[in-house]
Amino acid sequence: MNTEDLNIAIMVAELGSITAAAKRLDLRNATANAALKRLEKQLGVELFIRTTRSLRLSQAGEQFIPQCKHALSILEGAKLQGSNTSELISGELKLAVSSDFGRNLLLPWLDLFVERHPKLSLNLSIDDRQVDFYRDGVDIAIRYGSPKDSSVYGFKLCDVPGLLCASPDYLKQYGEPRSLDELKQHNALLYQLHGLSHDLWEFTHQGSSHRLRMHSNHMCNDGDIVRRWCIAAKGIAVKSSLDMANDLIAGRLKVIMEDYRPPVKELWLICPSRQLITPAVRALRDDLRNHCTQLLSQLKENGFLKAYNGLEAT
């Protein structure tokens, strides 16, 4: 019987909702629901009575949940006596991360993380393609977008606004677009994955959704190259605000058409198995959340996220 499943069941019982429990534990609803079904199957009883409008403990659940809380409390105490946190954060982390985020943000953050935990070693894979945990031999991955596979486990790190950016040199030479019709006349710097170019740009403007098919003479399957092209005045790009943060703050890039908002993406840390959610992974999750929160707050303070004033940093 897995302690993660037990903790999920306890949280569902306390909050009276699978959705609320999943949000509190940074899990997807499908993951929390699967954990409950797995636990009920192992016990051979239903712990919760479910209807379309409510969820409550069954008679078996009312007996099991308090005993479960007590048992987990004893187990946690034994863990604390057996070793301290710094000793637990050790071993090898095999981590996959996307190109732009990995090279320009994550690397210095990881350096600091390893300095604080000298018993930890890193094995880093930087690639924009979709990760295959078993083929690639990695334990965890950091990717934009909520994982669609219900068999994986993940932690949401933050919401990341998208931004439409260009360099001051590009805007000086070609002018700054003010509308979608004007934007369509400019050269787009496109990200390409599996041979498909992301040339259909989506925006929200004054509550309405807009889609624009862009033309380009610069396409690449490496997000970092798209960012470098943008700095080099080769065109206009839609990118994650995190990926562009340092360039925006340094003045190498400028946000344009601020009232037209590209979609907000979620940044996730995902694992293929519950057994791989080690103390080191949890510590890294917390560390990355702090870094992302600070950087997004810095972008807000500098006025780069004016159109996203209602968005929380985490």
% helix, strand, coil for the chain, step of 5: 45, 25, 30
Better-predicted residue by pLDDT, 1 or 111: 111
Question: Each residue of 161-209: pLDDT tens digit?
Answer: 999 999 999 999 999 999 999 999 999 999 988 778 899 999 999 999 9
CA R_g for the chain:
23
Dihedral of alpha carbons 16, 18, 20, 23, sign: positive
| CB 214 within 8 Å of CB 188 | yes
- Average pLDDT taken over every residue of the chain: 88
| CB 236 within 8 Å of CB 176 | no
Average pLDDT on 141-153 reads 83
Question: Residue 79's pLDDT is what?
Answer: 61
Domains and CATH numbers, the chain: 3-82 (1.10.10.10), 85-160+265-308 (3.40.190.10), 162-255 (3.40.190.10)
In the DSSP assignment, the letter for residue 162 is: E
The 3-class secondary structure across 82-93, one letter per residue, is HCCHHHHCCEEE
Q: Kindly indicate the confidence band of residue 151, based on its pLDDT and cuts at 50, 70 and 90.
A: confident
The two three-digit tokens of residue 159, written as one number: 């919401």
Q: What angle separates helix 241-250 from helix 279-301, to the nearest 10 degrees?
A: 50
CA 311 to chain centre: 15
| CB 47 within 8 Å of CB 61 | yes
Question: Each residue of 245-273: pLDDT tens digit?
Answer: 999 999 999 999 999 999 999 999 998 88
**Helix, coil or strand: residue 106:** helix
Checking phi first, is residue 235 left (phi over 0); if not, alpha (psi -120 to 50) or beta? left
Question: Residue 310's pLDDT is what?
Answer: 55
C-alpha distances (whole Å) from 253 to each of 176, 214, 257, 258, 274 are 13, 20, 13, 13, 41
Q: What percent of the chain is modeled with pLDDT above 90?
A: 51
Transcribe 175-208 into DSSP letters.
Answer: ----SHHHHTTSPBEEEEETTEE--EEEEEETTE
Which residues are CB-contacts of 260 (< 8 A; sequence separation ≥ 6)? Answer: 164, 180, 203, 204, 205, 210
The 3-class secondary structure across 258-304, one letter per residue, is CCCECCCEEEEEEECCHHHCCHHHHHHHHHHHHHHHHHHHHHHHCCC
